Chain A
Amino acid sequence: MATVQVSDLRKSFGALEVVKGVSIDIRDGEFLILVGPSGCGKSTLLRMIAGLEDISAGRIDIGGRVVNTLSPKERNIAMVFQNYALYPQMTVAQNMGFSLEISGMKKAEIDKKVAEASEILGLTPLLQRKPSQLSGGQRQRVAMGRAIVRDPDVFLFDEPLSNLDAKLRVQMRAEIKALHQRLASTIVYVTHDQVEAMTMADRIVVMRGGCVEQIGTPLELYDRPDNMFVAGFLGSPSMNFLRGKIEGQSLLLPGGERLALPSLPKGGSSGDVVVGIRPQGFAVGTQDGAKATIKVVEPTGADTHVLADVGGTEVTCVVNDRVDFAPGEEIRLSISSAKVHFFDPASEVRLD
């Protein structure tokens, strides 16, 4: 267990800078998730912490020790890769014991540690199998077992669930979270899946274009996103953004429709503004509100996603009921949530 400090870290491949001065303090025992779209530099950042990529500038401390120039094996970290990276010619037990064997540990002790880890992960009946004889989920567990037996300072996960099917992903998500609660170890976890980030993380780091957009707990980021990118990235379906002018207590949309607002931006902006509303924050009815046209209705069973066109902007609404709208039908849209977000249309930054 250890803290990890990343200070003004930079990475360039030739002229292309992919990590542009990132600073993060990771606490001891924290489950930190780096999330962002493809190419945002999150995997590169993780690989720099692991020592698999050189650092162009900045510094990394693990457990209070500068590790900038240390090789991966000197950093006492363990990493779980997206494609598992199991040694194909070794059995599950050999895969898990490989690092201990290299470190010169006695066979009896290796067996004991491997047995412990496989017990935690439910791998005991599979110990003598080769990776090719395992399912995707089992391989993933072996990769995690290989990390656990080493008792490292920091666990690094590089999109570990991306290769699993949806159902298994949900299951493994819970398992990894339970594992973290049990081992109380520091985890840095990279994903592009915001659901993984929201459900598992102690804190989330949202990245874009090599920069950190916002750091915070999942609910902080969900409730108070610093800018439109973070607001749109977290939450499913993603937040709706409506451009318009504030007039009195309502938002005047370009098409002339008005939406009554539950609150106003502090400082009382009277000019152009972008209002962010979660899909769950709309009320769909036939009586009052702004006129909208139904485009698509997606029933999910529990609730219904309604895509509608309001004043030229497409919005997604999640309705808790089963609704019986047909495409093309005209409805009335109003804001039911007390929480709306205001952003500056030019800088995309939060206004209050």
Chain B
Amino acid sequence: MTAIAPRREDDALLLKPRRDPFLIILWIILVTFALVWIAPVVLIAFTALKSNAEVMATSAFTPPEAIAWNNFSGAWARGNFETTFKNSVIITVIKVPLGLMFSAMAAYALARIRLRFGKLLLLFFLFGAMIPFQVMLAPIFTLVNGFGLIDTYPGVILPYLAFGVPYQVFILHGFFKAVPKELSEAALIDGASHVTVFRRIFLPISLPVLAALLILDFVSTWNEFAMALVLLQDRHMWTLPLGLMSFQGQFSTDYGQLNAAIAMTVFPAILVYMIFQRYFVSGLTSGAVKG
């Protein structure tokens, strides 16, 4: 063996990368913010598993001693989850894909088909995203009531669609605009109609963006409260966020059950996020760096 044994100090000098103080500060800030975000999740998880007595007796961040699974069954019954869960699923499962489909088609037409008033039409769409929906609550109620759609699925789904489409069109229009125009031209020369170009070329390449929009739209539709509160008066038509109101009693609040209900409400949104988050991240960057 003729190899010279490497000296320890040299190794340390060569191999140990110098830490950038900026990165350290960044990490500290990130961890702080992460804690702020995680804290309520932990609080909900712990409280959901405690009996009401234990909630009152222990601090919020103490892990539960005896796990109270019956909070979940209690919450399920008290919040009328059988109905509200079903309503939320029906509304979300119809609204989200339908809205995305409309938005994608509109965005394609605005980005790729030469229309006489294309720019004006786009502005018209975008204008929809500028109106705060609180302003619209009363007019929408009157309108939906006029159609006799209060307490019906279409009565909620249609306004949801109307409010979801503008920002989706905005994002998808930007993405479609960035697709090289030769791609659609090549397809048109290949004999494709615009429907085919949209379905066979644009939809497949915009999957990441669509996945990102699907997550955002699923979560916001699933959690929507104010409009549902106005448009759904009948308890049997309530969605999950409305169902959570049952836990706010006039004289007492069962925090264990309330948090169990919240956990059950949030769970599907987390599930959808976990399934699609891989695309979500690539979708966020796909506009910036074309692959």
Residue of B nearest to A132 (CB): B291
| Cα of A51 to Cα of B190 in the assembled complex, Å | 12
CB-based contact A72/B201 at 8 Å? no
Say whether A300 faces chain B, with CB atoms less than 8 Å apart.
no
> A70-83 vs B: 1/0 string, CB under 8 Å?
01110001110111
Docked complex: A109-159 residues within 8 A CB-CB of B: 132, 146, 150
| Cα of A83 to Cα of B185 in the assembled complex, Å | 12
Say whether A52 faces chain B, with CB atoms less than 8 Å apart.
yes
> B174-195 vs A: 1/0 string, CB under 8 Å?
0000001011011111111000
| Cα of A50 to Cα of B186 in the assembled complex, Å | 10
Give the Cβ gap from B208 to chain A, nearest Cβ, in Å.
11
Residue among B189, B200, B201 with most chain A CB within 10 A:
B189
- Inside 8 A of B146's CB, which chain A residues have their CB? none
CB-based contact B183/A71 at 8 Å? no
- Inside 8 A of A82's CB, which chain B residues have their CB? 182
Residue of B nearest to A156 (CB): B189
Task: Answer whether A81 and B205 are a contact pair too, CB < 8 Å, given A102-B191, A102-B192, A103-B191.
Answer: no
Q: How many residues of A contact B (CB 8 A)?
A: 23
Residue of A nearest to B180 (CB): A83
> Which listed residue (B183, B196, B204, B205) contacts A85, Cβ 8 A?
B183
| Cα of A77 to Cα of B191 in the assembled complex, Å | 10
Q: How large is the interface on B (under 10, 10 to 19, 20 to 34, 35 or more residues)?
A: 10 to 19
Say whether A301 faces chain B, with CB atoms less than 8 Å apart.
no
| Cα of A78 to Cα of B192 in the assembled complex, Å | 13
| Cα of A72 to Cα of B190 in the assembled complex, Å | 8
| Cα of A113 to Cα of B190 in the assembled complex, Å | 15
Task: Answer whether A72 and B291 are a contact pair too, CB < 8 Å, given A85-B183, A88-B205, A89-B204.
Answer: no
Which secondary structure dominates where chain B touches chain A?
helix
CB-based contact B201/A85 at 8 Å? no
| Cα of A236 to Cα of B190 in the assembled complex, Å | 37
> Which listed residue (B187, B190, B192, B201) contacts A150, Cβ 8 A?
B190
CB-based contact B182/A99 at 8 Å? no
Residue among B180, B187, B196 with most chain A CB within 10 A:
B187
Task: Answer whether A78 and B183 are a contact pair too, CB < 8 Å, given A88-B205, A89-B204, A89-B205.
Answer: no
- Inside 8 A of B187's CB, which chain A residues have their CB? 87, 98
Docked complex: B167-226 residues within 8 A CB-CB of A: 180, 182-183, 185-192, 196, 200-201, 204-205
- Inside 8 A of A85's CB, which chain B residues have their CB? 180, 182-183, 185-186
| Cα of A102 to Cα of B196 in the assembled complex, Å | 8
Give the Cβ gap from A157 to chain B, nearest Cβ, in Å.
13
Residue of A nearest to B192 (CB): A102
CB-based contact B192/A52 at 8 Å? no
CB-based contact B191/A78 at 8 Å? no
CB-based contact B190/A102 at 8 Å? yes
CB-based contact A73/B188 at 8 Å? yes
| Cα of A71 to Cα of B194 in the assembled complex, Å | 12
16 contacting pairs across A/B (C-beta < 8 A): A50-B185, A52-B185, A73-B188, A73-B190, A73-B192, A79-B186, A81-B186, A83-B180, A83-B182, A85-B185, A88-B205, A98-B187, A102-B190, A102-B192, A102-B196, A150-B190
The interface of chain B, by Cβ under 8 A from chain A, is: 180, 182-183, 185-192, 196, 200-201, 204-205, 291
Beyond A83-B182, A146-B190, list 11 extra A-B contacts (CB 8 Å).
Answer: A51-B189, A72-B189, A77-B189, A79-B186, A87-B183, A87-B200, A89-B205, A102-B191, A103-B191, A132-B291, A150-B190
Top 10 nearest A-B pairs (CB, nearest first) are: A99-B190, A85-B182, A85-B186, A73-B191, A89-B204, A81-B182, A72-B189, A102-B191, A72-B188, A79-B189
